[in-house]
Amino acid sequence: MDPTKSSTPPPPPVLGAPVGYPPGAYPPQTSAAVVAYNPQLYAPPPAAAAAAAAQQALAQQQQQLQVFWADQYREIEATTDFKNHNLPLARIKKIMKADEDVRMIAAEAPVVFARACEMFILELTHRGWAHAEENKRRTLQKSDIAAAIARTEVFDFLVDIVPRDDTKDADAAAAAAAAAVAAGIPRPAAGMPATDMASYYYVPQQ
């Protein structure tokens, strides 16, 4: 029997106690294997960040328009007072009679026009305010209304009435085109009108 070897078994390992491993079990890492953290490798590119911001702003604007039209629809259903209006009915009736072919106007027609004009002003204000927020402003300006008209296809009949500034329009169009390309939004073909980035919402009857 070899005296150097003991017949006593080794004590069981104690939970939490350090355990010695033989040399060479885990070779030390070389300097080439250690890579320092570089924030630039993980930061999104500027184009992707701008596209994400544009998509977030577009989604927020679409949500606001959906809420706006849903509220308008509920308000119309709950309307019972047809005598008080925010717009003067006499002025609306005078505009309607500007057409020589119009002879008689029923009493309900100016009321409907008054409500339609009010909704038109509200929606255009919503779209113009979204453009003002994009430019970090808290004041609604003429350029915001003109931008809202240029962006919305259903408002094309107002393009000549509310023209945009040429220099600002070119810069805004270039920025919008770059953001659309970065976001993967297809551009219209040559000669075709630009589609509205924020869809024109209509709330169907329930």
How many Å is the maximal CA-CA distance in the chain? 129
For tokens 């390992």, the residue is: 13
How far apart are the C-alpha atoms of 29 and 49, rounded to whole Å?
Answer: 36
Are the C-beta atoms of 102 and 164 separated by less than 8 Å? Answer: no
For tokens 């309607």, the residue is: 96
Question: Which pLDDT belongs to residue 4?
Answer: 56
Query: Looking at this protein, which amino acid is placed at residue 37?
Result: Y
Q: What is the pTM of this model?
A: 0.54
The string of pLDDT tens digits covering residues 6-55 is: 566 666 666 656 656 566 655 555 554 455 555 555 555 667 777 777 77
Mean pLDDT of 46-66: 78
Mean pLDDT of 82-88: 84
For tokens 């169009």, the residue is: 173
Question: Which pLDDT belongs to residue 162?
Answer: 84
Closest by Cα among 85, 86, 105, 82 to 95:
105
How far apart are the C-alpha atoms of 50 and 182, rounded to whole Å?
Answer: 8
Phi-psi category of residue 158: left, alpha or beta, with phi > 0 → left and psi -120 to 50 → alpha: alpha
How far apart are the C-alpha atoms of 107 and 84, rounded to whole Å?
Answer: 14
How far apart are the C-alpha atoms of 62 and 68, rounded to whole Å?
Answer: 10
Question: Which pLDDT belongs to residue 169?
Answer: 52
The string of pLDDT tens digits covering residues 140-191 is: 999 999 999 998 899 999 988 887 765 455 555 556 666 666 656 555 544 4
Question: Which pLDDT belongs to residue 176?
Answer: 63
Closest by Cα among 154, 147, 121 to 133:
147
Question: Which pLDDT belongs to residue 33?
Answer: 47
pLDDT at position 197 over 50 = no
The string of pLDDT tens digits covering residues 98-153 is: 998 988 999 889 999 998 999 999 999 999 999 898 889 999 999 999 999 998 89
CA angle 111, 102, 157 (to 5 degrees): 70
pLDDT at position 202 over 60 = no
